[in-house]
Structure formats: structure tokens, C-alpha cells
Structure 1
Amino acid sequence: MRKNSLAIFGAAFGRGAQAVFGLSSTSTRFTVDTDAGLVFEVNKANGDITSLKYNNIEYQGTTKATAINSGLGTSTVTGETINGYVKITIKASSLPLTHYFVAKPKEAVIYMATYITGEIDPGELRFLARLKTSELPIGVHGDVGDTRGCEAFEGKDTFKCPNGQTRCKMYTSDRFIDDIVHGVTGSKASVWMIMPGTAYETSASGPFMRDINSQTGSTDQELYWYMNSGHVRTEPWRFGLQGPYAMAFTAPNAKPSATLDTSFFSTLSIQGYVPTSGRGSVTGNASGVPKEFETVVHWHNTNAQYWTKAVNGVYQSPLMKPGTYTVKLYKQELLVATDTVTVTAGQTVTKNIASKEPNTPIIWRIGEFDGQPFELRNGDKIERMHPSDVRMATWGGTYTVGTSTAKDFPMALWSKQSGTVTVNFSLTQAQVKAHVLKIGTTLSFKGGRPSVKIGTWTGSDPGAPVLIDSRGLTRGAYRGWGDVYTWNVPASAFKAGQNSLVIGTYGSGDATWLSANYIVDALELQD
């Protein structure tokens, strides 16, 4: 690691003159001094971190320990110094899990990896640092996950504050493809989770999956890395090694590099670790995606997942485990091509992939078919607040083709909230003929899907999409299966001059925001 990187990780921040890198122990705990200002303690009975001192200030929270999930319970915990690194191994007694803490000299970093052979009850796997809110009051994305002074109104995780604003720990999330470093901060330090390289390779649900990053409570500031959960998950769990990943302490807002080097894990006998020599890669051209959209290439099979963004149509994959993979090409987040490729250790294979998105003539289009709702009304807010938040614009309403903009069309519809949306449009006599109506969605809840009506014609019910058994829209999620619905509309539904399309929602539920709903990607009437 370069000298300036060492400084970022705290080697120059208040290291005591007598500090010496190494591992010590008592009958109840291991103590690790990083010789970079960070000293942490691990409980020998269960592998919990019980103390996190940085520059002689205690950052460990006061109510619960820092651990995998809510703690592993009785475990076999061993510590050793190997090849110049400190390694602590925790083998859970009642779970199919082994967790590792690793320290490197002169870095205020706790390197980690988590090896699993099966799903972990209660259906999620996370590393959770419980830190002192008094020392680290600012969460990921500011106050969106700050529940202090607010009251839960949906489940136990979504809160309404006295000013009408809403808070939820899910609002702190970012897409996995972008979420490599996130952290919490205070006046004396920041603490960061770092997921470098192939850290996500054994997680689930691809590059656009999002999960909890932090939650700010009255006593504890919770800092997370979610490896697997049921939060709008679209794939089964993968098993094997999760990581390597890390937790770093720095000066306030000194964000560490996303290219943290973890190659030294190859010298530490970490179960499931695959070194560079045991991996291959893929390169090639990804073509056909308009330049105003991200070009994302995604590889996955039952054992691993990877992704990258193409630059000027050229891509280079991360180093991948050997195997045969499905290859997906996305225009932003809209799937536009699928293929396969086989990766071999020690080799780079060339694989070109091109968009197969049809270029269909249209009469009008609202929004962009890109797998995201952000250009529509409230789409710019939905990741960070509840649909009922006072900062949200009204839902439902009327859109007029030719005068309205994308921001006038709501990004979501409910069966019991917000009513319907009416799209007014004009046709010439020559356009009075059969057309195809297309509505793209990104996420559905409780079977929500569009109902459509033009004049006296009513479109057939397309049927409920495959269920994702998780709240989504009200917890800031927008990405699910990405279902696209089409209707063949007969000429008799149209007339020359003014026409109206009324869009509603099939599905049921009570009269809350948890009734059946769906999120709109875009819609168009094809010529």
C-alpha cells in the first residue's frame, strides 16, 4: 500500500509512542493493537468485538457488541500471528459460519471475511458495527436513517418525525455496483465499511441490489455491510466466502480508497479464499447502448456474481472464479441482451455483447425505458423517503402529451392510494388504427400491475407478477423483476382528436401505502 494510503487509514493520527503491533490475550478476550491508533478487543466466548478504541477514544457502542448479525453466540475463537498479520478465527457452534478478523501492521483497519455453508437464521447475513452516536452522529446519507425523536408508523423500521419527514435505515442504501465505501462520521473520526474487489461475489441479486448501510439511534450509531438478506432479493443465497471486506478508522471525512488491497489473504489460510492465480477474466465490446446511459455488464451463476461498467463500449471484468456464467447487458438498469461465457483460471477470454433492444416507432413515450423511475414525479426522492413524506409531490393526476414533462407523471401507483393517472393525447385520422401500448415497471408489491382503459376499450388483466415477498417502495427500493406489459389495442379504441388513457392498479390490500403497488419505468404508445 502506498504511503499516502497508509496516512488515510490513520497511521499518522495520534499513534502512541509505546504502541506495538500485535496480539495479546487474557482468559476472556483477545486484544489487537494495529500500531495505527486503533486497538480492538474480541470476546473469546463468542467472537464479539467489545471495544474499539481509536486515538484513545472508545467508539464501541454501549448497548450491544459489534458482530455478525446480532452475535454468533457460543463459538470457538482462536487468535494467532501468521506471516506478520494478526488473524482471529471465530467458528460458530450453532451456525454454518466461520468469521475472520485480520489486522495488518500500521493500518487502522479491521480486515474481515465470512465463510458460510448454508442460510443463516433469521434469513439475513450482515456485519454490524454498533458505535457511539455521541462520537459518530452523522449516518450514511446524512439524516435519512436518523430515527431519534421519531415514531415508527410502518413495521418497526419506518419512522415519522414531528416535522412530517420520514426516516428508515433502508433509505441509507446504495446500489452494490456503486457501494464500495460508505461510512459514519463525527468531529474526531470517521468509520468506514469497505467492500473492495470481488467482495460481493458471493452475495445475491446482482449489481443493482441495495441494502441497509446505517441507522442512527439515540445511543448507537449502527454501521452495516449486508452480505445477504430478503430485502427485495431476486436470487437465492450463494454460499462460500463473503469478502474480503474491511472496517477502517480515519480522520473525519477522510474517505479511504475503494481499491483496498486484500491479496495478502492468500497467505492466511482463509477458508474459501480464491487467489488471483485461481481466477480468470473476460474482456470485450459492449455495444448498442446509447451514450447517455450507463452500459453495465453482469456475470452470474449459482456460485458467484460480478459486474463492471463499460467505458466507450469497452469492458474488462473483475477477476472471476472459473465456471460458466450467464452474461447480461444493461442499458442503465434495463436488460437489453443475454449470453453465456466460460471463464478459466489464468486466462482472459474475449466476449462481445450487443444490445437487442428493438427500435420501434412510437406516437408518444413518457419517461425512458432504462430500468429506473428517477425522471418521473417523486422518482428523485423515493430512495431516501417514504411516499407519505411531506416533501413528496402529490400522486396520481393527469398527463398531457405534448405539454407535460416526465416529472408530471408519478413514478408509482397504488390500488388504495393515489387514484389513477390519466394520459391525454391527440391522434390524426391516419393514426386511428391498431396500436401497441407498452408499460415498463421496475418493482411490484402484493401483485400490483397496471390496469389500462382507452375510451370504451379495457385492456385484459396481465396477471400478477412473480411475488417478491418484501416491502419495497415504502422502504426506498425501486428495483425488482423489471416486468414489461404490452396490450394490443384495437383501432376501435381510438378516435381522431382527443383520446384518454386511464391507468390504474390491479391488486388488493388495505387502505395504506402497503396496498398493492408498482413502480413505473416508462410507457409508450407504439405506431
Structure 2
Amino acid sequence: MTCFQPLPALLLLAQLANAEFSLKDDGKYFTIDCDSKPPVVVQVNKASGNLQSILVKGTQLQTNPRGSHINSGFGKSTVTAKQSGDDHILVTVDSPLVTHYYAFKKGEPDVFMATWAADCPHPGEMRFIARLDSDVLDKGNLDRPGDDASGKAIESKDIFIQKDGRTTSKYYSGVPFIDDAIHGSRGSGIGAYFAIGSYESSSGGPFFRDINSQTAGDTEEIYFYMFSGHAQMEPFRKNQLHGPYALCFTAGPPPRMPAMGWMKDLGLKGWVSERGRVSGTATGRIPGVPYTVYLSNRSAQYWTRVTPDGKFTTTAIKPGSYRIYLMRGELPVADGDIAVGTDAIATTLADPGLPAYLWRLGLPDGTPSGFRNADKMTDMHPSDKRLAPWGPVTFAIRDRIPSNLTEFPAAQWGDVNAGNRIVFKLADKEIKDRDLEIGITVSQYGSRPMVRVNDQWSNRDPGAPPSYDSRSITFGIYRGYGKVFTYRIPKSAFKVGTNTLVIDNRSGSGAGKFLSNAFVFDYIGLRD
């Protein structure tokens, strides 16, 4: 690998003094001066396609000799560059992995990018990694710190515990795609951020999340994940252009989302200009609950929030046949097929509502929201000292929909807190055959709930639910192949007065403690 040698100081001063939008070729590097504020000068390695130098305000951010690139590097590549008029430059990297584009626009302090991939690069992930100087970006990711370089490793050398009991990991830097337009790191007077123009060719849906950043010694790594197998439920979208996206440089604070529509004129492989939109109304919504409309097919995915008045409109989407979903929280509650052309089309989606429950803990919405520790599960390992005890607990039902939900744990592990109890009272007229529903958002190692009532009745094993071959709960992900288990409990199991429901775990696998078989609760409800 050819390592970057910093530009001589006199040459650097000359460039800063005579900045103009330009493309230069010295045989080893393409050098692009963005003629921007803050001043940005970038070098692309002509042999590897890596970003080998990034000068911002005269400060070198690309001190790591590996450079910035897709995955572990493009490998030996054919790298070409051309300038269009006086305001656009395009660098194309034809590599064994992908065809990658760096685009530059006069006056913009950004490296615009897009990546076309026939298949998922080895080893089952595709991400752009900006390896920048952590001494310069010394404040890191202020919104969601991704520091995994300090403390004692407690799991797989990527989750750490600090002396004060806090846990840290690069995994906790992630943000759901639907909320993740811009993320990055900053220092004093300088910042570097990814701006995501489109997730349409990514996988996982609106609530998928992955690593955004980590501080690894002298390197601040900022990521744009286009695909990974970390708790993934969708395949890689083949033969698609991923992006556009941009690596943006600022005087510190995050940038506004830069316009990227101008890239349509660059001739990028897989770019689709002619598009349509879907708009409509979502009816039957539960007050106070967020709703999302989600469209997906083998080529693309899109989403949009439903407004408080029930209206929704998507972004511009590629023509095709899609499955469209109405999501209550993160749970699909209605779906259908829709054909999208290049015109706007309208549709209506309806939440079917909830059945009647004698009592219910939590809302069926695909999340553990409201349960104990649910608000911290994406930020820390379940062993973190800042969390409330996981139990097991005994929870007394006093209301049909209890307001003290934080007294019941969001997750249950076979080795940690199996055997949580729910105590409830029944009158004589309430004794009858009833259905108990336990909704889970994810199963770890095929775990499923097993229930006992008054030590008089227990359910048969319902079988393992779908699960992925990946950790999830311990690195901040509570989503997976959600499932509702329904148990028909005979009236002979109940009694007048106080009844006790015990929830255990069933699975034959797991690695112990918080890596033992487990599941995350969505809701628990005894039907009326």
C-alpha cells in the first residue's frame, strides 16, 4: 500500500493562498481543490482509489496511512477523473468490489459519493469508512459517543466496561435510519460528517441501525453503513447504486443537508431520474402513537412519517411494484401491494385497532417502550451500572393498563432474570377460558416464553421463533423477527382471587449470562 506523505508546507501555503476549483494529476494522486469555505483539498490515490489526504482549513485529517474507502479497501483499481465545465469534478474507482464515485462541486466543502455494487462485498457488509485524526476531531461524536478504545473488554472485544461501571461500544453510536440524516465527529473549529442523501438501496427498513462512529486510538472512524449482517432481516440489494451520500467538512457544528440532485447529470451507473411518489391517509390510528409508512421490494426501500392529521407523502421513489406497510410504532399493522410509476398516486391504509384485554402491559408497537430499562437499551450493555435491576420481579396488576410499566423488565434472559411473575385478581364471573398473548420484538438464540398459571397449568413448547445468527440485545438492538405467542389457558387453571402467572425461557442454546437465550417484550396481555 502506498502511504500518504503530507504536502510540503510551502506547497500547502501556496494552495491555500491561490485556491481555485481544480483537478490536478501528479501521476500518483488526483488532487481536488474544492474552492470552498472552509477550504478543503482532497487527494485520491490513483492505484487504490482511497482518499489519501484530506486537508481542511490547512489541517490534515487523513493521517491514517490506510486512507478512507469502502470496507477494508478497494484493492488494485482503475481510477479516472474528469472535470465538467468549471464547477464539477468526478473521480471514478473501478474496483474488484464495486464501482465507486467521488464527486466535487465548486464551492462545496464536501466529498459527494455513490457506490454501485453487483453483490455484497466480502465479508457480508458494505460501508464507507472515513479514517480521520482523533487528535483533531477530539470531541468525537457528541450525540452518540462510539468510543470502544478504553476500558476492559467484556464481550467479543468490542464492548467495554469503564472503571465507573459505564459500558461503551461502537455499536451504541447507531441511530435508526429514519432518524439518521447526518452524523459525525468534531473538534475545535473543525468537523467531519456523513450526510445521507438516500437509504433506498440499503437493507433493514426504517428502524435498522448500525455503527456510526468509533474512536480507535489515534483514528476517529466515521461510517456510512449501506449493508451489514448485524441483526439484519433483509438480503443485500444487488445491482443497485447506493447513495448518494457525502462526507462533509465544517467549522465544527453539523452541516445542513447538502443538495445532491445535481449528481444526476454525472452519468453514474444505476442512477434513476424518472420517479414517482405515493401519498395518502392513515386511518384508525391510536392517539399519541407515531406511525410510519414503509415501502419495500428487492431493489429499494422508502419510508415517511405520518403527520398528526394522518397524511403522508413519500420522497421520490423508483418505479416498480412494492409492498406497502403501515407501522404502528415499529410494528407493521396493515399492508398491501402498490404499483408505482412516474406520477403521484394515492392510497389509504388503516390500523385495525386492538382487541379487548382484561389487562395489558405495554402497547403492541414493535418496541419495549415503557418497560424497565427500555429507554437505555440502545445506549449501553445490559450489565451497565446505570441500569435498574433486571429482576426477576413480581408485578401486581392493579389497573387494566398499568401506568407503572417501568417495574417490569424490558428483556428476559434464561441465565439472568427468568421467572418474572405477574399477579392479578379474578372475580367469579371472570373465570373462563382465556387467551394470553406475549409479543416479543426479538428472540436471542431461539428463545421463547414458557408460561405457568398458579402451578396448575403450563403451555406446550410453541417452538423456536425466527431469529438471526447475530447478537442483538447486548449491542443495542431490540428489533428482530417479532412474534406474538398466544396461549389458550383453560378456566380450570384460574381461581377466584389472586392468580400468579410465571414467565420462563425455553431454548437449548446460548453463551451464558447476557448472551444466554433471551427475548425482548413488546407487550403482555390477557384477553377479555
TM-score exceeds 0.5: yes
Distance 1:344 1:399 in 2: 52
Match of 1:152 in 2: 153
Match of 1:470 in 2: 470
* Structure 1 residues 459 and 262, CA gap change in structure 2 (3 angstroms): same
User: Matched residue of 1:103: which SS?
Assistant: strand
The one-letter amino acid paired with 2:438 is I
The offset of 1:151, in angstroms, is 2.2
Match of 2:526 in 1: 525
The one-letter amino acid paired with 1:202 is S
Match of 1:274 in 2: 272
Match of 1:388 in 2: 383
After superposition, give the CA deviation of every residue in 1:190-231 in whole Å (9 maximum; x if it has no partner): 1111112xx111111111111110001221111001000001
Between 1:404-413 and 1:219-228, the stretch displaced more is: 404-413
Whether 1:220 aligns to 2:211 is no
After superposition, give the CA deviation of every residue in 1:82-112 in whole Å (9 maximum; x if it has no partner): 24311100011x32x1000001011101100
TM-score w.r.t. structure 2 length?
A: 0.93
CA contact (8 A) 1:329 1:353 kept: yes
User: Matched residue of 2:406: which SS?
Assistant: helix
List aligned pairs for 1:22-421, cutoff 5 A: 22-36=22-36, 37-62=39-64, 64-83=66-85, 84-92=87-95, 94-95=96-97, 97-142=98-143, 144-196=145-197, 199-239=198-238, 240-253=240-253, 255-258=254-257, 260-275=258-273, 278-311=274-307, 312-345=309-342, 347-357=343-353, 359-395=354-390, 396-402=392-398, 405-421=404-420
After superposition, give the CA deviation of every residue in 1:30-58 in whole Å (9 maximum; x if it has no partner): 11110110111111001111111100011
* Structure 1 residues 143 and 300, CA gap change in structure 2 (3 angstroms): closer
Distance 2:422 2:475 in 1: 28
Distance 2:473 2:243 in 1: 29
Distance 2:143 2:350 in 1: 39
The offset of 1:361, in angstroms, is 1.5
The offset of 1:424, in angstroms, is 0.8
Distance 1:24 1:501 in 2: 73
Match of 2:8 in 1: none
Match of 2:483 in 1: 483
Between 1:55-64 and 1:38-47, the stretch displaced more is: 55-64
The one-letter amino acid paired with 1:291 is P
CA contact (8 A) 1:28 1:43 kept: yes
CA contact (8 A) 2:171 2:211 kept: yes
The one-letter amino acid paired with 2:256 is S
User: Matched residue of 1:267: which SS?
Assistant: helix
User: Matched residue of 1:266: which SS?
Assistant: helix
List aligned pairs for 1:488-499, cutoff 5 A: 488-499=488-499
After superposition, give the CA deviation of every residue in 1:153-206 in whole Å (9 maximum; x if it has no partner): 21121112222211111101011111111111111211111112xx11111111
After superposition, give the CA deviation of every residue in 1:234-269 in whole Å (9 maximum; x if it has no partner): 11110210001101111112x2223x3211111111
CA contact (8 A) 1:416 1:509 kept: no
CA contact (8 A) 1:204 1:235 kept: yes
Moved over 6 A (4+): none
The offset of 1:60, in angstroms, is 1.4
The offset of 1:138, in angstroms, is 2.9
The one-letter amino acid paired with 1:65 is G
Gaps of 5+ in 2: 1-14
* Structure 1 residues 63 and 432, CA gap change in structure 2 (3 angstroms): farther
The offset of 1:142, in angstroms, is 4.9
After superposition, give the CA deviation of every residue in 1:97-131 in whole Å (9 maximum; x if it has no partner): 10000010111011000000112100000011011
After superposition, give the CA deviation of every residue in 1:255-306 in whole Å (9 maximum; x if it has no partner): 2223x3211111111000111xx11111111111223111100001111110
The share of aligned pairs that are identical, in percent, is 38
Distance 2:139 2:483 in 1: 37
After superposition, give the CA deviation of every residue in 1:447-467 in whole Å (9 maximum; x if it has no partner): 011111111110122211112
CA contact (8 A) 2:150 2:160 kept: no
CA contact (8 A) 1:52 1:59 kept: yes
The offset of 1:141, in angstroms, is 4.9
CA contact (8 A) 1:47 1:77 kept: yes
Distance 2:326 2:204 in 1: 15
CA contact (8 A) 1:137 1:216 kept: no
The offset of 1:147, in angstroms, is 2.2
Distance 2:289 2:63 in 1: 43
